[in-house]
Amino acid sequence: MSGFDPVPYRRLFPFLSKGTIYLDHAAIGPVPQPSRDAVVGYLRERTEGDVNIFLPFLKAHADAKKTIGRLLNAPPERIAFCDNTSNGLNILAAGLPWKTGDRVLLTDVEFPANVYPFLNQKRHGVEIDFVKCRNNRVAFEDIERALTPRTRVLSISHVQFLNGCRSDLARIGRLCRAKGVIFCVDAIQAAGAVPIDVEAMCIDFLSCGSQKWLLSTEGVAFVYVSAETQEKIRQAYLGWLSIRDFFSDFFRYRLDLDTTARRYEGGTLNIAGILCLSESIRLLLGVGIESIAVHLSELTQLCVDRVLREGVELLTPEESRERAGIVSFRPPKASETFERLKSEGIVVSLREGCLRISPHFYNTREEVLKALDAVFQRS
């Protein structure tokens, strides 16, 4: 046992007073009260205060990038905001100067957000290769074998949305670096649940929405772009915020792109969403990502042990180092069980005929055990 105590943090989630057991953070996470308060404060200012607070927001914008930089071990100037994971990935997919015969390597268990931006490049003659998931894991050796001299990009989810398989990004990143392949990561099922270090993991590009483990709103996301990768991107879309000194000399129209990743923030940003996200990440950093990862490892182990004991098909890897906060399994009558759990105030996901349990740092051991008892109750 880690000794981590989730109880002090539960007061930050008022919905818990209803008795709900919420174990669905791989779908959408609740917004903590401090994050809600940040949004309310912004809206109050827009309603009752100075109204036009764009210029003061620029400081909060810079501070938010510093906070995300702490989460990823990345310089803040390498961070840019966007609206969702898919459009973040499109910055890379639509921006590279593709040649006929270039190849992209994906896995066959990716969430579609990490597939369609690259699949769309087939119109430029790009070929897509898929590494097959075997025994509920994506083997490094299979990735290594699938790389070809024409592979330009390898894009993978840090944690797969259905089976919860967590890939060894550092090992894959080193392989890509040695082969001259751009290493792209969809981090939406990992950020906030397990540590991410873009430097140690040799990540060239990362995209992440904020509505899941990062406990923020829909409609705001961020990308990390290494300086070397930025040099390779021929930006497909530009806006007035893409330019250096954008708030001066409006009529001097020029292609003078900002040297930082801000060049990808073409126009007006989701200010309320960025304020919410920044506050949520500060909370998670205060709790400690390492502490969260250990706590989730213990909670998911409870799930894995019970599923194996019940003799039910487990989709998630049994090895704790190969998973994060997700446990998926296929009980008999999964759909009926899902509806029954919902009626009892226990929230999980139903995906592809499986139940998916995904707790977070404020969930207790007792909650998880109660949910498992409800899943496997005998009629």
Up-side HSE of residue 231: CA atoms within 13 Å toward CB? 3
Contact between 134 and 146 under an 8 Å Cβ cutoff? The reply is no
Mean pLDDT of the chain: 95
Q: What percent of the chain has pLDDT over 90?
A: 90
| Identical topology for domains 7-23+288-375 and 40-286 | no
Residue 146 in tokens: 């699938």
- Measure the CA–CA gap between 226 and 176, rounded to whole angstroms: 14
Assign domain 7-23+288-375 to a CATH class.
alpha beta
Helical residues (DSSP H) of 120-252, grouped into ranges: 140-146, 169-179, 227-232
262 token code pair? 């801000």
- 58 burial level (CB within 10 Å; 0-12, 13-18, 19+): exposed
Q: What is the mean pLDDT of residues 37-63?
A: 87
Tell me the residue type at 90: N
Q: Which of 28, 326, 324 is CA-nearest to residue 167?
A: 324
Reported as a pLDDT band with limits 50, 70 and 90, residue 379 is very low
Determine the Cα–Cα distance for residues 89 and 28; give it in Å rounded to an integer: 20
Predicted structure pTM score: 0.95
User: Across residues 175-204, what is the average pLDDT?
Assistant: 98
Note the pLDDT of residue 322.
Answer: 95
> In the 8-state DSSP scheme, what is residue 30?
P
- CA-based radius of gyration for the chain: 21
Percent of the chain with pLDDT over 70: 99
Structural domain boundaries in the chain: 7-23+288-375, 40-286
Strand stretches in the chain, DSSP E: 21-22, 79-82, 103-107, 127-131, 151-157, 182-186, 205-209, 221-225, 313-314, 327-330, 346-347, 349-351, 354-357
d(CA 372, CA 370) in angstroms, rounded, equals: 5
Ranges of beta strands (E only) in 50-126 are 79-82, 103-107
CA gap 276, 111 in Å, rounded? 25
Q: Thinking of the domain 40-286, which architecture would CATH place it in?
A: 3-Layer(aba) Sandwich (3.40)
